[in-house]
């Protein structure tokens, strides 16, 4: 049975991998609008526990994703967001040996005299 993108649909969302959340219910005039909401608006954690119901059939998160990615999906898709630069790690830059500065020499702490040790413990 093929999915009807023009039929009314409902989304039940709220359960997530992070724990229980209040159940969220939303009704849409078309299945395509419900799919758009599920993929483009719902937080990813809520999508994992989301259920789309259309034509008396339930679709889970993996099926929702497949229906949205299908070539039959009638609405324009939102452009995928680029990864934030903070999350992208680049390789550290290596300086040539001529530009590397030597570490400063660390002086050892002066030794305490026997009299100083005795007065500190008293």
Sequence ranges of the domains in the chain: 9-69
pLDDT band of 21, cuts 50, 70, 90: low
Element (H, E) at 58: strand 57-59
Distances (CA, A) of 52 to 13, 48, 74, 105, 113: 9, 12, 17, 67, 79
Residues 26-75 have pLDDT tens digits of 899 999 999 999 998 888 888 888 899 999 999 998 999 999 999 999 88
Please answer whether residues 31 and 53 qualify as being in contact, where contact means their C-beta atoms are separated by less than 8 angstroms: no
Of all residues in the chain, the percent with pLDDT exceeding 70 is 63
User: In this predicted structure, what is the pLDDT of residue 7?
Assistant: 94
Record the pTM. Answer: 0.59
Of all residues in the chain, the percent with pLDDT exceeding 90 is 30
Handedness of CA 91, 96, 101, 103 (dihedral sign): positive
User: In this predicted structure, what is the pLDDT of residue 44?
Assistant: 81
CA distance 73 to 1: 16
- Between 73 and 108, residue with greater pLDDT: 73
Q: What is the torsion angle, in degrees rounded to the nearest 10, for the CA atoms of residue 83, residue 87, residue 88 and residue 89? A: 180
């Amino acid at each position: 049975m093929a999915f009807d993108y023009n039929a009314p649909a409902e989304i039940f969302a709220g359960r997530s991998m992070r724990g229980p959340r209040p159940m969220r219910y939303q009704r849409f005039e078309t299945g395509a609008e419900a799919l758009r909401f599920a993929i483009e608006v719902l937080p990813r954690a809520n999508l994992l526990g989301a259920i789309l119901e259309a034509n008396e059939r339930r679709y889970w998160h993996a099926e929702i994703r497949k229906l949205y990615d299908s070539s039959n999906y009638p609405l324009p898709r939102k452009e995928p967001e680029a990864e934030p630069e903070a999350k992208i790690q680049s390789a550290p830059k290596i300086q040539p040996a001529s530009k590397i500065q030597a570490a400063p020499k660390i002086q050892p702490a002066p030794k305490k005299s026997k009299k100083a040790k005795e007065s500190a413990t008293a």
